[in-house]
Structure 1
Amino acid sequence: MERKRRATVKDVAIEAGVSRGTVSRVLNGQPYVSDEARAAIDAAIAKVGFVPNNAARSLVMQQSKAIGLIVHEPHSLFIEDPNIGAILLGANAALSGADYQLSCLIADTPRDIERLTRYLTGGLIDGVIIVSAREGDPITKAVARLEMPAAFVGHPHDIGDAAYAAIDNRGAAREITRRLVGTGRSRVGMIAAALDRDSGADRLAGFVDALGNDFDPQLVQRVPLYSYSDGQEGMRALLRDHPDIDGVFASSDAVAAGAMEVLQSSGRTVPGDVGVVGFDDSSWALRCDPPLSTVRQPAGELGRVAAESVLAQLRGEDARAHRRMLTCPVVWRGSA
């Protein structure tokens, strides 16, 4: 079967009885076109089935009207972690209001990172929001080299003057650990996840701050990811090596949920034998039984603020004017 020819600007112009230049001005949102001509062009577009060639238009306008959301996490965590979804929705709401398209890009493997680095140079997106960047991240370096409008969700320590939307992970971790200790716990451990990025490292630092001279490094179990399965593995290791543990700070709600499942399966009661606290106040917190004491991370707001920062930079504003720390209160429930 012969492929149907794609309608062109010329076809629209002939159908509407106007010049191609007039059609182009309408398509590009430019002024100096009469209401009658606009109406004729709209009718012609519908009749001939014209669809704008956005790739060609991007070359002419030197903008794609698309913003990339780069999530530097494994595919499995992208699906499991409700914070990532909330960040995505918050960013999308802000971009939709400005008539920009969100393009979601996942960086799981080194090959993904190499491919995305090449993609950034192609002019297919106007700016980026970067989630879960590590220090020394090649994507961060590529964005800096290209001088691309960008905002980070989180605050890696090697981003220079780049914009970010973040929370005080260290301060919040310190506060919730002190509250856990205040319930009478004397052997408090931590399942410390994602120590290769600022959020995980800062939460561990806050835990250390809270315990002061009582900090015991043997009671910290390091795991790779903010995941339920890592919470299970971390809790099994803590119970094996320190069966007298009576309090646990898990560095995310998913990690805490996995830890609670292992504790309860081993015959420990929560909070009777072991008090557990998490971080995020995600949907995981209310799935737990009892409900999880945690820190409320405003994930949707982080996405929105980061997106608005990129849009502001596209308008010519300085990235340094868009460095925001959002509040993250402790939410106390039955798990501790």
Structure 2
Amino acid sequence: MSRPHRRATVHDIAAAAGVSRGTVSRVLNGGYVSAEARAAIEAAITEVGYVPNNAARALKMRRSQAVAFVALEPHSLFLDDPNIGSIMLGANAALSLADHQMVSLVVESARDTERVARYLSGGFVDGAIVVSARTRDPIIKVISELALPAAFVGHPPDLDQSIPFVGIDNAGSAQAITARLLAGGRRRIGMIAAALDRDSGIDRLAGFKAALGTAYDAELVADVPHYDYGSGVKGMRALLAAEPAIDGVFAASDAIAAGALEALREAGRSVPGDVGVVGFDDSTWAVRCQPQLSTVHQPAKQLGSCAAQLVLRQLRGEVLEPGGQLLPTPIVWRESA
């Protein structure tokens, strides 16, 4: 019977290279040795077929080599929202390049928050990327108390100033695209405003108000809970009931705008003939709609990648400057307005 293959060790490398185990360890851990010693050790590694035992190394360093991706959204929205998916893919790509595993955690309820808090405090992950945190979200307190290396996508107003974030100028972007809708001759403009319990929703509504100025009418704002298609249908029906002569709509996301288009079709209103519609995100919804959506481009993959880099920098021991980073959001003008 053949014996199982024995895993090569540091001792084998040292014997083959003719150096001490300490010298081998310095090379494996990125320390300094002479060029001659390094060359001999690298040749010995190839000769003996050494494969690093990352699990043992992580245990010794008390590192899991894993980072949590915490999405504070309903389970259905986590699957359907292309923005969250793109942020997640961007984060995963950056973490993979750094040999870190991403662990996805979806928080929909208070029970989920308690479970995730226990998981984060258990040493199973080295850091966390948090998406869609609300104002006064319990997860903010949990991460602050754990002093866990973390980065937020978005900036809740009560976020601990020591925790970095990456985001976009939601207010400025909403103001810019609403102003362009006005410049196209629309006069009775409404908004389907979503997620008013978090910074993105609050800021997009603020930008809409700023663009309209004295023409702003609170009756022409439909408040919906989520950035999803169904909310867009309901919100548009509410706006049509409040103002049948409405001729422009700013939807707080592309998915909402797609739902608004469906409600307008039901009502026999043409787009952009009778009503101009603009969205936000420049997601796959924007180009699947008929007509295609004018919208604000949100760099979702880059947001995820930047958030992951912020966590990795903390894990390397870097001290980050307080505050966050805002990425550009150009307007993409298409047929819907």
TM bin, normalised by shorter chain, reads: 0.7 to 0.9
By how many angstroms is 1:18 displaced? Answer: 7.8
Partner of 2:82: 82
Partner of 1:68: 68
Partner of 1:184: 185
User: Is the Cα contact below 8 Å between 2:171 and 2:206 reproduced in 1?
Assistant: yes
Q: Which AA in structure 2 matches 1:87? A: I
Instruction: Say which SS state the counterpart of residue 267 (structure 1) adopts.
Output: coil
Equivalent-residue separation in structure 1 for 2:311 and 2:323 (angstroms):
9
Partner of 1:282: 283
Partner of 1:259: 260
By how many angstroms is 1:229 displaced? Answer: 0.6
Partner of 1:38: 45
Partner of 2:155: 155
User: Is the Cα contact below 8 Å between 2:13 and 2:45 reproduced in 1?
Assistant: no
For normalisation by structure 1, the TM-score amounts to 0.87
By how many angstroms is 1:38 displaced? Answer: 2.9
Q: Which AA in structure 2 matches 1:34? A: I
User: Is the Cα contact below 8 Å between 2:13 and 2:41 reproduced in 1?
Assistant: no
Instruction: Say which SS state the counterpart of residue 197 (structure 2) adopts.
Output: coil
Equivalent-residue separation in structure 1 for 2:319 and 2:137 (angstroms):
23
Partner of 2:300: 299
User: Is the Cα contact below 8 Å between 2:165 and 2:324 reproduced in 1?
Assistant: yes
User: Is the Cα contact below 8 Å between 1:12 and 1:41 reproduced in 2?
Assistant: no
- Residue deviations 1:118-146 (CA, integer Å, cap 9, x gap): 11111111111110011111111111111
Instruction: Say which SS state the counterpart of residue 321 (structure 2) adopts.
Output: helix
User: Is the Cα contact below 8 Å between 1:309 and 1:322 reproduced in 2?
Assistant: no
Equivalent-residue separation in structure 2 for 1:132 and 1:115 (angstroms):
18
- Residue deviations 1:203-235 (CA, integer Å, cap 9, x gap): 001001111111100000000000001101111
Structure 1 residues 319 and 157 mapped into 2: Cα distance closer, same or farther (>3 Å)?
Answer: farther
1:96 maps to 2:96:
yes
1:248 maps to 2:249:
yes
Partner of 2:126: 126
Partner of 1:4: none
- Residue deviations 1:271-326 (CA, integer Å, cap 9, x gap): 11111000000000011111100000000111111111111111222233572111
Equivalent-residue separation in structure 1 for 2:210 and 2:43 (angstroms):
69
- Residue deviations 1:69-116 (CA, integer Å, cap 9, x gap): 111001111111111111111111111111111111111121111100
Instruction: Say which SS state the counterpart of residue 250 (structure 2) adopts.
Output: strand
Equivalent-residue separation in structure 2 for 1:13 and 1:214 (angstroms):
75
Equivalent-residue separation in structure 1 for 2:334 and 2:202 (angstroms):
25
Partner of 1:334: 335
- Residue deviations 1:155-211 (CA, integer Å, cap 9, x gap): 111113211111000000001011111111111100001111100110001001111
Equivalent-residue separation in structure 1 for 2:134 and 2:235 (angstroms):
22
Structure 1 residues 159 and 41 mapped into 2: Cα distance closer, same or farther (>3 Å)?
Answer: farther
User: Is the Cα contact below 8 Å between 2:70 and 2:107 reproduced in 1?
Assistant: yes
Instruction: Say which SS state the counterpart of residue 268 (structure 1) adopts.
Output: coil
Equivalent-residue separation in structure 2 for 1:317 and 1:219 (angstroms):
48
Equivalent-residue separation in structure 1 for 2:212 and 2:42 (angstroms):
70
Partner of 1:320: 321
User: Is the Cα contact below 8 Å between 1:170 and 1:206 reproduced in 2?
Assistant: yes
Aligned length: 320
Instruction: Say which SS state the counterpart of residue 7 (structure 2) adopts.
Output: helix
1:116 maps to 2:116:
yes
By how many angstroms is 1:241 displaced? Answer: 2.3
Structure 1 residues 194 and 57 mapped into 2: Cα distance closer, same or farther (>3 Å)?
Answer: same
By how many angstroms is 1:53 displaced? Answer: 7.8
Runs of 4+ in 1 over 4 A off after TM superposition: 16-19
Equivalent-residue separation in structure 1 for 2:177 and 2:54 (angstroms):
53
Equivalent-residue separation in structure 2 for 1:146 and 1:165 (angstroms):
21
Instruction: Say which SS state the counterpart of residue 319 (structure 1) adopts.
Output: coil
Equivalent-residue separation in structure 2 for 1:302 and 1:17 (angstroms):
45
By how many angstroms is 1:52 displaced? Answer: 5.2
Instruction: Say which SS state the counterpart of residue 49 (structure 2) adopts.
Output: helix
Equivalent-residue separation in structure 1 for 2:54 and 2:307 (angstroms):
29
Q: Percent identity?
A: 54
Following superposition of structure 1 onto structure 2, how do residues 263-274 of structure 1 map, counting pairs within 5 Å? 263-274=264-275
Partner of 2:33: none
User: Is the Cα contact below 8 Å between 1:67 and 1:126 reproduced in 2?
Assistant: yes
- Residue deviations 1:244-275 (CA, integer Å, cap 9, x gap): 11111000000000000110121100011111
By how many angstroms is 1:17 displaced? Answer: 6.3
